[in-house]
Structure formats: structure tokens, C-alpha cells
């Protein structure tokens, strides 16, 4: 009988595309659903009592917010995202991060986010969008944005060629749109907190796409019991995009 590969074996190295040219890649992970259960049973040497009882205990832990055992599972990702995403991501201070530096590595032409649609400002929410701009006006904005990126990058290259330090030449780049690559690490407890906030319908579209990708392609396959409990007790209103 062939032994089935573990979630870790199938997920390490997996890369998922997000937005127009971003991605998430799982570099490493530690633990699984059983590791969470065993941590909760530390006084009893962490022995499994069968899948039915193990799963029941895990559900009890999450339902009653006994969250420390979930911190025994960790994920490390390599993520490429525009700064408009990172600006919100780093507000979750429980993540450990190391970011690409524009002081050491020059940016490439085309390292800029182009939104697929121009969302309109919501009438009753100062920090949200609602509906989309369509037709010639939207096309004109996209073309103007691409021209802005081309001009900005040309000025950036001009400064580099003049001998200006990379740390200053990058001032010409459109800040919120430029893509950065980061290495990030988080435990399952704090990842669930991130997912609860960033998968919500009122989260900004761009970071919501990263949260959904984290959940569907990595968290759920790695921790199926925990994901089921998460959707039952933490985020019962969660609905996947069409």
C-alpha cells in the first residue's frame, strides 16, 4: 500500500498567482491539525485518541477560544505584492517579515500594479469602494496609468545611469503601485485573525485576493480540520468569490 504524501510534502514550493503579476509561495511549514491537538494534550504526552476524538477536541478549542495550541503550527511564505497591499499587511504586527530592499536591488520595468477595474468610492463608507467605472473613461485612466508608469521608470533609469544611489533614484517610482517581494512567517492562530479581517467583503479588494489565496491554497489544505472549525465558529459568514 502506497503511503499518501503529507500536506507539507505537497504544499512546500507551491506558488499561486495573485492579481496581475503577484504571487504567494509556501517556503516551509511546521505542524498540522494533529500537532494542535497534541499541544492541547501536553499533560497527557500528546497522544492521539483517534481521528473522531481528536477533531472534536480541535473544534472545542477554537469554539471556546483556547487559541494557544494553534500557535504550534507555523507557515513561512514568499510573497510578491504591490505596496498598496503591504501597507495594510504590516498592520498585523504578529507577522515576522523581511522585505526586498530597493536600496540593494534595482526595480525592473513593469514592476507596477495595473488594476483590472477602476472601483468607485462608496457613498456611505470613507474607506471603501462600490461599483466600477466603465467605458471610455475607464480605458483612458488605464492608458494614463500605464504612461505614468513608463515615464516614472524612465526617470528612475535616468537617475541610475547618472550615478544616483538606488535609495534616492527610487523616488521617481510610483510608491503604492510598485511590487515588492517579502518573506513572511506567521503561526496558525494569528493567520486566522488576518484571514478573518482580510477575507471579509469590506476588505480592500487587493489584499482580499491575497487572503483568499492564502486560505484556499495553503491554510485549508494544510489544516482541513482547523479550516472547517474556522468556517464554523470564527467566520461563518465566509463566502468564496464566484
Whether 154 and 224 map to the same domain: the answer is no
pLDDT category, 242, cuts 50, 70, 90?
very low
Q: Is the pLDDT of residue 121 over 50?
A: yes
24-65 pLDDT per residue, tens: 999 999 999 999 999 999 877 767 889 999 999 999 999 999
Which structural domain range is residue 147 located in? 118-177
Q: Which CATH number fits the domain that encloses residue 16?
A: 3.30.1360.170
Whether 11 and 54 map to the same domain: the answer is yes
Whether 63 and 150 map to the same domain: the answer is no
Across residues 183-210, what is the average pLDDT? 97
Q: Is residue 132 part of a domain?
A: yes
Q: Calculate what percentage of the chain has a pLDDT beyond 90.
A: 81
Across residues 120-132, what is the average pLDDT? 85
Give me the active site residues, please. Answer: 198
Whether 60 and 154 map to the same domain: the answer is no
What is the count of structural domains for the chain? 2
Whether 185 and 165 map to the same domain: the answer is no
Q: Is the pLDDT of residue 9 over 90?
A: no
Whether 137 and 94 map to the same domain: the answer is no
Whether 146 and 40 map to the same domain: the answer is no
Per the model's pLDDT, the better-predicted residue between 1 and 200 turns out to be 200
Whether 155 and 218 map to the same domain: the answer is no
131-149 pLDDT per residue, tens: 999 999 999 999 999 999 9
Whether 93 and 196 map to the same domain: the answer is yes
Q: Calculate what percentage of the chain has a pLDDT beyond 70.
A: 95
pTM of the model: 0.93
Number of neighbours of residue 187 by Cβ within 10 angstroms = 20
Mean residue pLDDT of the chain comes to: 93
Amino acid at each position: 500500500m502506497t503511503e499518501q504524501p503529507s500536506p507539507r510534502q505537497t504544499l512546500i514550493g507551491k506558488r499561486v498567482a495573485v492579481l496581475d503579476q503577484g504571487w504567494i509561495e509556501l517556503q516551509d511549514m511546521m505542524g498540522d491539525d494533529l500537532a494542535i491537538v497534541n499541544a492541547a494534550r501536553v499533560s497527557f504526552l500528546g497522544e492521539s485518541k483517534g481521528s473522531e476524538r481528536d477533531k472534536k477536541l480541535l473544534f472545542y478549542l477554537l469554539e471556546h477560544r483556547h487559541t494557544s495550541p494553534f500557535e504550534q503550527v507555523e507557515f513561512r511564505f514568499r510573497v510578491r505584492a504591490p505596496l498598496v497591499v503591504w501597507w495594510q499587511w504590516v498592520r498585523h504586527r504578529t507577522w515576522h517579515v523581511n522585505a526586498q530592499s530597493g536600496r540593494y536591488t534595482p526595480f525592473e520595468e513593469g514592476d507596477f500594479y495595473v488594476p483590472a477595474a477602476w472601483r468607485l468610492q462608496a457613498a456611505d463608507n470613507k474607506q471603501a469602494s462600490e461599483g466600477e467605472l466603465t467605458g471610455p473613461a475607464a480605458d483612458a485612466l488605464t492608458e494614463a496609468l500605464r504612461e505614468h508608469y513608463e515615464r516614472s521608470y524612465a526617470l528612475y533609469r535616468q537617475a541610475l545611469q547618472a550615478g544616483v544611489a538606488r535609495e534616492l533614484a527610487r523616488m521617481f517610482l510610483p510608491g503604492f503601485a510598485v511590487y515588492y517581494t517579502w518573506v513572511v512567517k506567521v503561526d496558525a492562530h494569528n493567520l486566522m485573525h488576518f484571514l478573518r479581517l482580510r477575507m471579509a467583503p469590506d476588505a480592500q479588494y487587493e489584499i482580499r485576493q491575497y487572503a483568499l489565496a492564502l486560505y484556499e491554497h495553503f491554510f485549508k489544505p494544510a489544516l482541513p480540520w482547523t479550516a472547517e472549525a474556522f468556517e464554523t465558529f470564527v467566520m461563518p459568514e465566509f463566502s468564496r468569490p464566484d
